[in-house]
């Protein structure tokens, strides 16, 4: 690989002048610039980003850390961020923190985060303490639901409002026994499950319908297959229900399959609402009614907050909650 020095030698100028040309700095004479550019093309020189980063401290690269990229929610989110960042000339790489504790810590090590100008961290699997340990060496914006150290900028979805919206919709359309699938019977980590379940309770209170705790069914995994099996079991052995609020669309797809397995019709026998507004929801079954969590707003704010830090402003941390919106489709009446 050609280096700055090679280019300098061939074009008969100093290394610094070549650097100035490469970086488009103004103080270079037109003739010199042309000559240098020719040599650059000739030698096929490309800047060594590693060296640049070591010296200059920036890399033009941001990272998005997500638990698992094969969860469609994160895939869609990652694509949104990439699209939002591309026009600004920065670029995004994705890191998976993974399910395992070690993978998570590895992804969060200062050593790794240091490599980026800024990090968007989806804190789903992380505990407060894990995140608290990170000393703000790198501009960091947290994404996700859990309570997190307030010194970090933090954008979360309107989980509670969304749960309320979804459940209210079901109750308003005649449901009386709304299964909260993937909820938490007692508050655990203040995460997604807790908040969406709280929204489910809120809606019941609003509507004056008693919220039967037996209808809150936790899920060991928020996966389609798992949810499907659980729903199938609940139809025969569980409490009676005439609607399901699935904690995620992923779960909702499993619910639809499970209800079909059990011979129940949607929405006639059981109504279903999901959460996330995944692309697949539009095309599954009669169309999944779901809560749009405002990912566009999430991305917009996250980028804004990160930019603010990158610009060196260090105002007090902000905590933004996105607005949610119900998307009505065929799984509700």
Partner DNA sequence: ATCGGATTTGTGAGCGTTCACATGTTGTGA
Partner DNA sequence: TCACAACATGTGAACGCTCACAAATCCGAT
Binding site for a second copy (CB under 8 A): 1, 44, 46-51, 53-54, 59, 63, 68-72, 74-76, 78-79, 82-83, 86, 91-96, 98, 100, 103, 106-107, 109-112, 114-115, 135, 137, 224-225, 228, 253-254, 256-257, 279-280, 282-284
Instruction: Give the Cα separation of 223 and 282 in Å (integer).
Output: 18
Radius of gyration of the CA atoms of the chain, in A: 25
The residues, any chain, with a CB within 8 Å of residue 112's CB and separated by 6 or more, are 95, 106
Instruction: Give the Cα separation of 137 and 269 in Å (integer).
Output: 54
Binding flags for DNA, 45-84, as an x/- string (CB under 7 A): x-xx--xx-xxx----------------------------
> Does 311 contact DNA by CB under 7 A?
no
Q: Is 294 left (phi over 0), alpha (psi -120 to 50) or beta?
A: left
SS3 2: coil
Peptide bond just before 106 cis, omega within 30 deg: no
Here the tokens at position 209 are 């319908």
The item of DNA, a second copy, none sharing an interface with residue 257, based on CB under 5 to 8 Å by kind, is a second copy
The item of a second copy, DNA, none sharing an interface with residue 207, based on CB under 5 to 8 Å by kind, is none
- The least distance separating DNA from the CB of residue 90, rounded to whole angstroms, comes to 15
- The least distance separating a second copy from the CB of residue 134, rounded to whole angstroms, comes to 11
The item of DNA, a second copy, none sharing an interface with residue 301, based on CB under 5 to 8 Å by kind, is none
Q: Which is nearer to DNA, 2 or 207 (CB)?
A: 2
Binding flags for DNA, 5-44, as an x/- string (CB under 7 A): x------xxxxxx-xx-xx--xxxxxxxx-----------
- The least distance separating a second copy from the CB of residue 229, rounded to whole angstroms, comes to 11
Run of H or E including 295 = helix 295-310
The item of a second copy, DNA, none sharing an interface with residue 87, based on CB under 5 to 8 Å by kind, is none
Q: Produce one character per residue of 1-22: b if its CB has 16 or more CB atoms within 10 Å, e if not.
A: eeebebbbebbebeeebbbbbb
The residues, any chain, with a CB within 8 Å of residue 7's CB and separated by 6 or more, are 18, 36, 39, 40, 43, 45
In this chain, which stretch among 4-12, 191-199, 290-298, 309-317 interacts with DNA, using CB under 7 A? Answer: 4-12
Give the residues across from 273 on adjacent strands. 245, 289
The item of DNA, a second copy, none sharing an interface with residue 14, based on CB under 5 to 8 Å by kind, is DNA
The item of DNA, a second copy, none sharing an interface with residue 69, based on CB under 5 to 8 Å by kind, is a second copy
The item of a second copy, DNA, none sharing an interface with residue 68, based on CB under 5 to 8 Å by kind, is a second copy
Nearest partner of 333 among 263, 286, 280, judged by Cα: 286
- The widest CA-to-CA distance across the chain, in whole angstroms, is 84
Q: Produce one character per residue of 182-193: b if its CB has 16 or more CB atoms within 10 Å, e if not.
A: bbbeeeeeebbb
- The least distance separating a second copy from the CB of residue 282, rounded to whole angstroms, comes to 7
> Does 109 contact DNA by CB under 7 A?
no
Q: Which is nearer to DNA, 98 or 106 (CB)?
A: 106
Residues that bind DNA (CB under 7 A): 1, 3-5, 12-17, 19-20, 22-23, 26-33, 45, 47-48, 51-52, 54-56
């Amino acid at each position: 690989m050609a280096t700055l020095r090679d280019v300098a030698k061939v074009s008969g100028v100093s290394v610094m002048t070549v650097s100035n040309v490469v970086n488009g700095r103004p103080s270079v004479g037109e003739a010199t610039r042309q000559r240098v550019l020719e040599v650059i093309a000739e030698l096929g020189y490309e800047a060594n980003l590693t060296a640049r980063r070591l010296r200059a401290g920036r890399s033009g690269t941001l990272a998005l850390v997500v638990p698992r990229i094969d969860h469609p929610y994160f895939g869609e989110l990652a694509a949104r961020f990439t699209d939002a960042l591309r026009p600004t000339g920065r670029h995004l790489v994705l890191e998976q923190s993974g399910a395992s504790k070690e993978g998570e810590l590895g992804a969060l090590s200062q050593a790794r985060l240091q490599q980026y100008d800024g990090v968007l961290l989806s804190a789903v699997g992380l505990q407060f303490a894990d995140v608290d340990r990170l000393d703000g060496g790198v501009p960091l914006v947290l994404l996700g639901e859990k309570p997190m150290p307030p010194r970090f900028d933090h954008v979360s979805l309107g989980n509670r409002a969304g749960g309320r919206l979804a459940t209210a919709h079901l109750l308003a359309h005649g449901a009386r026994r709304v299964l909260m699938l993937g909820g938490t019977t007692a508050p655990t980590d203040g995460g997604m499950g807790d908040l969406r379940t709280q929204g489910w309770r809120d809606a019941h209170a609003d509507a004056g319908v008693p919220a039967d705790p037996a209808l809150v069914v936790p899920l060991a995994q928020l996966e389609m297959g798992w949810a499907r099996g659980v729903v199938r079991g609940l139809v025969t052995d569980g409490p009676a229900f005439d609607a399901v609020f699935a904690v995620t669309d992923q779960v909702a797809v499993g619910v639809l399959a499970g209800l079909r397995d059990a011979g129940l019709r949607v929405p006639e026998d059981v109504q279903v609402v999901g959460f996330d507004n995944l692309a697949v929801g539009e095309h599954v079954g009669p169309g999944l009614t779901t809560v749009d969590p405002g990912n566009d707003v999430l991305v917009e704010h996250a980028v804004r907050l990160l930019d603010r830090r990158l610009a060196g402003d260090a105002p007090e941390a902000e905590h933004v909650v996105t607005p949610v919106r119900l998307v009505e489709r065929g799984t509700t009446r």
